[in-house]
Amino acid sequence: MGNPLLSAGVVSVGELAESRSVREALQFLTREKQWINEQHLEVCRIPAPTFLESRRAEWMAEQFRSYGCEVQLDRAGNVLAFLDPDARGPYVAVTAHLDTVLAPRNRDDVAIASDGRFLGPGVSDNGAGLAALMAIARALKSAPPLDGLCSRLVLIANVGEEGEGNLSGMRHLCRPSGFARRAATFIVLDGAGSDHITTQALGSRRFEVIFSGPGGHSWSDYGTGNPVHALSRAVAEFTELRLNGNPRSSVNVGILEGGTSINAIPSQARAKVDIRSESNQKMDELVAILNAAVEHAQAAENERAVAGRVTGRLREIGARPAGSLPEGAAVIDYLRAVDAHLGIRSRLDCASTDANIPLSLGIPAVSIGAGGQGGGAHTPQEWFLPDRRDLALKRILLTAILLLRDPVLAEGFARRS
C-alpha cells in the first residue's frame, strides 16, 4: 500500500510538526503540563454519573468558551466546541465521554498521591480524555492561526457512554439528521495510555431477566412457584455455555436480585446479563440461547409447583452494535505515521467504546487513549499518572490535522453523504 501522506498530496508528519503554527501548538502541550493537570483534577471533582452529567457538561462548555470556541449543547446533553463557527464541514470530531461509573462524594475524593498519581473516581476513565479535549482546544487557540487548517475540527464532550447509558450521546450525534452527517471521521478518546488503537467495535447486548410469581410463606405456601429458583435454573443453564474460538464472545451475569426475607417465597427475582461478541450474528445466537434458558427454567419450575405459577421474561436494557474500520482507512495510516514520528509503539485492538456507533454505520472512527498511565477503572481504587501525557496529546493533534488536510477523506465523506 502506498503512503497516503504522499498519494493524497499531504506533507510528511515531520514537515507538518515543524511548521510554525503547529510547532507552537505542540510546544504548548509540553509547556503547560501543570495547567493541564489542574484542569484534569478540576473536571474530575465535578460528579458526572451516567444520566447526571449536566453539571460537568456546563463546566466544560464554560472552559471551551473561555478559550474562544463556539459552543453548543445539544438536546442529548453533549457539548460541541467548534474552533470556527463558520466552518460547515466535513468535520473531524475528537470526542471524550463525560460520564463515570462511580462519582466523587466531595472534592477531597479526587486527590494527588505522594507518588504523583491522581486518585479518585473517573480520573483515568474518562478524566484523561476530557483533559485532552481542553488541552487541544487551548493549544490551538493559543498558537498563531493555522490558515484555516483546523477550522473543521470539533471537540465533543458527550454523555451516556458508561453502563446503561447505552452510548446515548454518540447515538444522538450519529442519528440520520444529527452531527455525523457533517462528520468525515471520529477520534474517540477513552482512558489513559497510547499503546492501542481500537479499530474493531466489540458488540454487546444487555438484558434484565425477570421471573415473577404470587409469593408466599416459606412453610404454609410451600410448593408455590418460586421466582428465585426459576431464575437460578435459567442462569445455571445459560452459563454452562462454552465459548471458544472465533468470533470471540463472552457472557456474564453481573447482578442477581430478589426476595425480601429468608422465610418468604419471593414474588419476583431478576438478573442482569451481559452478552458480548465481535459478531452481531453471534450475539443474536446467544440471545436466542438466553431466551431458551428462560423458557426451560419457567417450564421446570411450573412443573414442580403445586400452586402459583411463575412467569419469566427478558427486557433488553442495552445494545452496542459490533463493527470494524475498513482496511486501509486514512485514520489508521495517519496514526501509524504519527506514531513512527513520535516513537510510539501501538497495536490494533477490539473494544466496546463510543466508536461502536459510527463504525456500525460505516463512518470512519477509532478509539485511542489520552496519554499517561491509568488503572483501577470503575473501582474506588482508580488512578492516573500524567507522566509523558504530552506525547499522546501531540499524537492526537497531529493525527487530527493530517485528517483535516486530506482531500481524499473529504471526497469519501462527500460520497457517503
Return the domain boundaries, the chain.
4-202+322-416, 205-320
Q: Which CATH architecture has domain 4-202+322-416?
A: 3-Layer(aba) Sandwich (3.40)
CATH 3.40.1190.20 describes domain 205-320 = no
**Domain 4-202+322-416 identical in fold to domain 205-320:** no
Closest by CA to 401, choosing from 8, 3, 10, 72, is 10
187 CB-near residues (< 8 Å, 6+ apart) = 92, 93, 94, 95, 331, 365, 366, 368, 396, 399, 400, 403
**Cell 457539548, residue located:** 79
Question: 312-360, pLDDT tens digit by residue?
Answer: 999 999 999 999 998 889 999 999 999 999 999 999 999 999 999 999 9
Q: At 140, is the pLDDT very low, low, confident or very high (cuts 50, 70, 90)?
A: very high
Q: At 410, is the pLDDT very low, low, confident or very high (cuts 50, 70, 90)?
A: low
Burial 55-82 (b: 16+ CB within 10 A, else e): ebbebbbebbeebebebbebebbbbbbb
What is the pLDDT, as a whole number, of residue 151? 87
Residue 397 has pLDDT above 70, yes or no: yes
Mean pLDDT of 2-21: 68
Mean pLDDT of 187-212: 97
In the beta sheet, which residues pair with residue 187? 94, 366
Question: Where do runs of H (alpha helix) occur along 316-416?
Answer: 330-342, 356-360, 389-405, 407-416
Residue 6 has pLDDT above 60, yes or no: no
Closest by CA to 235, choosing from 243, 244, 245, 227, is 227
Lowest-confidence pick of 138-152, 209-223, 383-397: 138-152
Question: 42-52, pLDDT tens digit by residue?
Answer: 999 999 999 99
Q: What's the grid cell of residue 72?
A: 453548543
Cis peptide before 226 (omega within 30 of 0): no
417 CB-near residues (< 8 Å, 6+ apart) = 181
Q: Which stretch of DSSP H or E encloses residue 264?
A: strand 264-265
Q: Which stretch of DSSP H or E encloses residue 63?
A: helix 54-67
**Cell 409447583, residue located:** 305
- For all residues of the chain together, what is the average pLDDT? 93
Distance, CA of 57 to CA of 286 (rounded, Å): 37
In the beta sheet, which residues pair with residue 371? 193
pTM for the model stands at 0.90
Question: 73-113, pLDDT tens digit by residue?
Answer: 999 999 999 999 888 889 999 999 999 999 999 999 999 99
Report in angstroms the alpha-carbon separations of 78 from 7, 95, 172, 342: 36, 10, 9, 32
